[in-house]
Structure 1
């Protein structure tokens, strides 16, 4: 919005104050044949009364009010002059006046919500929508279509980068996202990748070089897969151990008793983890247990754990052959990411784009 238009908008918002102040100026006066009237501005009776001189009542700055978009009318039934400012045309149309909330009987409309949202990141949100539309158009030109199946496959690839479902969910929470948020963002990322990827070259030599430089990251350390039930007191833990030894179902008790909500919902399952991932007391106990073995209550800063190891994997050195496809995929993704900013900047430069909220 230009500076000039912004100034006019400000005056419309504050038109009531301008009219009241202008009363003493007697500028652009309009006359009404009445000896005594009241002045109503935006539905409220003004504290300033029109001036009557020799039987003629003058309403100051009528012409200025009308110039700024207000209406000035005489209401014979109430013997009053009505001055009402005209609001800016709402982008929401008639629906903008719909009440979507209220406080003690005072309505909050869609227009108010829209204005508030525009003021808080509106320009950036519109810019994101513009960018998304631009990418969609470019993908359509190249015949690229992203299906739900493509999105699900990409989500599955992302999940494989995490040792367990619990760690994947934790990563989402830390990013302030839900799985649905991720699914909504994925189509745009896939379109960019499919557009840029044909120009990306990754050779076997590139893969080998990366593997040798980062081999330790691909080696699989010793891991255990364990489940646990976490409770606050030793008495609770002892009772649970007693029930388990008597044949109670571990997963069922975890769902009912564990204060670790995340793993509890999964029957206590923590997935696979290596040394250094858990607090020392928990880790020492888990790595000392045999598969299928149950621990006595283990105290940590979080409470008392009853641990059950369900699998064990020995350390394994990675080979180039088994990691080649994974590394190539990773290198392609990195190059696509590196090229995407320049590609998008150039695409925007040659496209006709407007964002009327910029600068708001």
Structure 2
């Protein structure tokens, strides 16, 4: 039995207009002028319709099918699952603040992203019954890509960056007298990206930092503070706060990660045919 979805075409105009943040009740509303020449609301709507209307409509149809199919199968997305997915994004962009800035630069709200994530997670659950990742595939992927899972030697460090050697020596003297590294980083460091965090740089591997900085950082002992180190950016005072030794990857430690990678690869391949199969199960009427 085919299921029915009725889509009203006029909704496409509303979707397109809202996407541009220009929807008002009066379609003759003037949005801008150029040398006195008016650009009206209906002109914008027509342009949005011509360029994006069909795509927006098909997205709405697909989302509606996914929503109905999930409801029929009793599939839901929990708050914990949403939160975990958001954490993945934050980690990818080195923190929530940087991620929020990226969204803002791309004109996307957190609510829009959460909506996309909601439908993505629903889709993954619905498709899990047709996507199989075998033990043989998982082991083969690990063996072929083991090097990328190996842990390189890493150092966690903080630094105070200043413009000249005299200032560096002044900071070093204050540290020798027992003053707090983080407090001095906020006061003296010219590295705007790290100073407010007490100079914290996190963990890094060899090749991630400029050579003079890196050579000293990897030679320091845990909690040791360097003498001033000159680089192209100025003079650094470095404190090592953590060390990770190089370690060869073990399969079981990365099994779940590899299964996710393989699932997502198959997901990308199977998604289009799966949506087409859904469309065969629904009556989609365009009004």
Q: TM-score range by the shorter chain?
A: 0.7 to 0.9
Q: How does 1:11-90 map to 2 (within 5 A)?
A: none
Contact 1:244/1:250, CA 8 A, preserved across alignment: yes
1:317 counterpart = 2:287:
no
Partner of residue 293, structure 1: 224
1:340 counterpart = 2:265:
no
Contact 1:166/1:270, CA 8 A, preserved across alignment: no
Instruction: Note the residue ranges of structure 2 that are not aligned, 5 or more in a row.
Output: 1-21
Partner of residue 308, structure 1: 239
1:274 counterpart = 2:274:
no
Partner of residue 146, structure 1: 77
User: Normalization by structure 2: what TM-score?
Assistant: 0.72
TM-aligned CA deviation for residue 173 of structure 1: 4.3
Greater shift, 273-282 or 227-236, is seen at: 227-236
Partner of residue 219, structure 1: 150
Partner of residue 185, structure 2: 254
Q: Cα deviation per residue 1:321-341 (whole Å; 9 max; x = unaligned)?
A: 222222223222222222112
TM-aligned CA deviation for residue 209 of structure 1: 1.4
Q: Cα deviation per residue 1:270-294 (whole Å; 9 max; x = unaligned)?
A: 2211112222222112111111111
2:70 is paired with a residue whose SS is helix
- Give the count of matched residue pairs: 263
Query: Which of residues 94, 113, 118 is equivalent to 1:165?
Result: 94
CA distance in 1, matches of 2:160, 2:186: 9
CA distance in 2, matches of 1:174, 1:305: 33
CA distance in 1, matches of 2:180, 2:109: 30
CA distance in 2, matches of 1:305, 1:172: 28
Query: Which of residues 81, 87, 92 is equivalent to 1:156?
Result: 87
1:189 counterpart = 2:132:
no
CA distance in 1, matches of 2:163, 2:109: 31
Contact 2:155/2:218, CA 8 A, preserved across alignment: yes
CA distance in 2, matches of 1:255, 1:182: 34
Greater shift, 272-281 or 258-267, is seen at: 258-267
Partner of residue 243, structure 1: 174
Which consecutive aligned stretches of 4+ in structure 1 deviate over 6 angstroms post-superposition? Answer: 98-109
TM-aligned CA deviation for residue 183 of structure 1: 3.9
CA distance in 1, matches of 2:241, 2:69: 50
Partner of residue 132, structure 1: 63
Partner of residue 194, structure 2: 263
CA distance in 2, matches of 1:107, 1:256: 53
TM-aligned CA deviation for residue 218 of structure 1: 1.3
Q: Which of the two has higher C-alpha Rg?
A: 1
User: Normalization by structure 1: what TM-score?
Assistant: 0.59
Q: More relative contact order in 1 or in 2 (CA 8 Å, sep 6+)?
A: 2
Partner of residue 129, structure 2: 198
Greater share of helix residues, 1 or 2?
A: 2
